[in-house]
Amino acid sequence: MVMEISASGVAQPTLPTLYEYYTTGGIKSGLNAGQSYFTLNERNISLYSGAMHYFRTPKQLWRDRLRKMRAAGLNAVETYVPWNLHEPTPGQFDFGSGGSDMQDFLDIETFLKTAQEEDLLAILRPGPYICAEWEFGGFPSWLLRGDPPVKFRTSDPHYMNPVKRFFNALLPILAALQFINGGPIVAFQVENEYGSTQSSTFKPDRKYLRQLRQLYLSNNITELLVTADGVSAHKAAGTLPEFFLVTANFGGNPRSSFDALETIQPGRPKMAMEYYPGWFDHWSELHHTTPDLLLTINLEEILTYPGSFNIYMFHGGTSFGFLNGANVADSLTDNSGFQPDTTSYDYSAPLTEAGNYTRKYALIKSLLAKYAYPKTQIPAPPEVIPRVVYPSIPIREYLPLKQLIDSQSSGLEYASPLPMELLDINNGSGQSFGYITYRKTQLNLPAGSTLKIAANIRDTLLVLVNGVQIAPPLKASADLDNFGFWRQSPSTIQLTNRFLRNATVDLVVENWGRVGYGMITQFYQHKGLWNNTVSINNHTIQNWKHIPLEFKKTWTQKLSGWRPMQTYKSPGLYRGFLSIDSPLADTYVDMRQWTKGILIINGFVLGRYARIGPQQCLYLPSPLLHVGRNEIIIFEHYEASDSIRFTSDQIWETI
């Protein structure tokens, strides 16, 4: 036994690390759930896990977040795997060096090895559907190009063939990192909340679940396979209890869910795969928070049942780029209940978006110090990474939206408006993210001419007549009921109050996030003007030029034609420069003086902002900055500010 000398000079036994405790003497077996408790390598274990998504935190900060999780007393980290990032176009994969804008976030092998170095086990949830308030629930948008349409989350070969291709690329990477092979992975979740798909028109496809299981087995996955559902409501509808350990998702009343698990699988371990310590935000809502005391009550009930848990989220992070998901309150038939998620995925979690400790963190640490077994070495909590408030910088240059559209020579012409996913671009995979412009030229518009869009817009719309934006701005949450947003159907706007000859009309549509949760029918969601008739003065307009504005890094960095700053009342790109000649530090960009749009730092889309809130600032981690001159571009839809301001903390305010 290893001994250490205490301050009093008395020799005391040193606690083993987690891996020392579970691997001393060699590894004979992985996580076992064949009885009422878990064992790992034939030793009893309870899982004290926390969710952290590697794709929501810069790679350079992974170790900081993981060490903080271990310092709280957790023994495992859980993460989803986003298919849409790892296979951005069919057959082209990015696991950290694939050349996509997000490649630095995608080195899953390094993430898992770092977790092991920080003395954490790992639970992997590869989907293929992940929800996660992530764009399209993790599905690649090119699945929507299927002819016939793919039947999502079923054994339909048009769906399963792409799933097999992705899993056959992903799972060999993960197989080598299984606990039995000396790595950190002790469990894999198959699908995700599949029971929630059950409705009067759809029954979960058991053949599909068996096919997914076989994919794991064929790729040498031998660790424990589990499913997760709201079992109090959906029981065993989304699982195969004969093959998978069933786990539960809930935000309260643990005993009810664990009792349901006992009914489904008597005498098996009880685990909360998702226990919610907070919640996520939609634009225009109030910021969600949850009582700290409630977390303590629920976790203690889980621990004493006894059961295991995964806190979802322990560190929420950020949905960088265009990668926020959305919910839908009703159905996608009319899109009126569309609810886009904010860029921040703070989740009111124990570790904030920027990695700060909260009272929830302290409470969890205290509970685990009391209940966790076995006792192993726990590191001291790392210092909080300091944030700075950089000096405000002026807007120096401006690129009008019309000029930006004019500069694009890649426009494609179709008789009727097509959604972005069906454009013949990106090697036949269509457009996933950003904006799409529908342009019609050489129009003679009498005074009082009216534009009519027959069905719901997906999701927001700017209307430019000869370059002048005429759609009403989004300055308050109530404005979402006006023209230019998804709630109206049909919607109309007057284009001009005087006669215009040879006019150009541009309809710029934003994808504000594809829905990532709901019934199967809600996964058929094209963005742009979809199944739509666009008319002027009741005359259907055809032969539109389609111009994608994807804001990919290489494209943005080549933009030219910048003008000296002249106006703040027009949509376009606004550019300023942040010079840093000292050590880099995290910060927040305060967007309260702007209206709605996206912010781009050194060519990388940091995220969306909207004055309506609740999120008012964008987290800017230091790995996205560099010493010297940093370019900041803001695509403002409506009215801009004359400067870019910074703050040290997030600000929550709903307008």
Positions annotated as catalytic residues are: 193, 274
**Residues 227, 247: contact at Cβ < 8 Å?**
yes
**Residues 644, 617: contact at Cβ < 8 Å?**
no
| Range 373-402 burial, b when 16+ CB lie within 10 A, else e | eeebebeeebeeeebeebeebebebbbbbb
| Strand-pair category, 43-45 with 38-40 | antiparallel
**Residues 605, 598: contact at Cβ < 8 Å?**
yes
- Cα–Cα distance for residue pair 365/369, rounded to 1 Å: 6
Task: Specify the residue for token string 């000292």.
Answer: 582
- Cα–Cα distance for residue pair 25/21, rounded to 1 Å: 9
Task: Please count the residues of the chain.
Answer: 655
Task: Specify the residue for token string 């225009």.
Answer: 284
Tell me 437's DSSP state.
Answer: E
Q: Beta-carbon neighbour count of residue 161 at 10 Å?
A: 10
Q: In what order do the strands lie in the sheet with 43-45?
A: 31-32, 38-40, 43-45
- Cα–Cα distance for residue pair 415/35, rounded to 1 Å: 63
State in Å, rounded, how far the first CA of the chain is from the last one.
Answer: 62
Tokens of 260: 């349901």
Torsion of Cα atoms, 414 then 420 then 425 then 426, to 10°: -170
Class of residue 89 by CB neighbours under 10 A (exposed 0-12, middle 13-18, buried 19+): middle
- Cα–Cα distance for residue pair 89/141, rounded to 1 Å: 9
- Cα–Cα distance for residue pair 422/414, rounded to 1 Å: 11
In the beta sheet, which residues pair with residue 79? Answer: 124
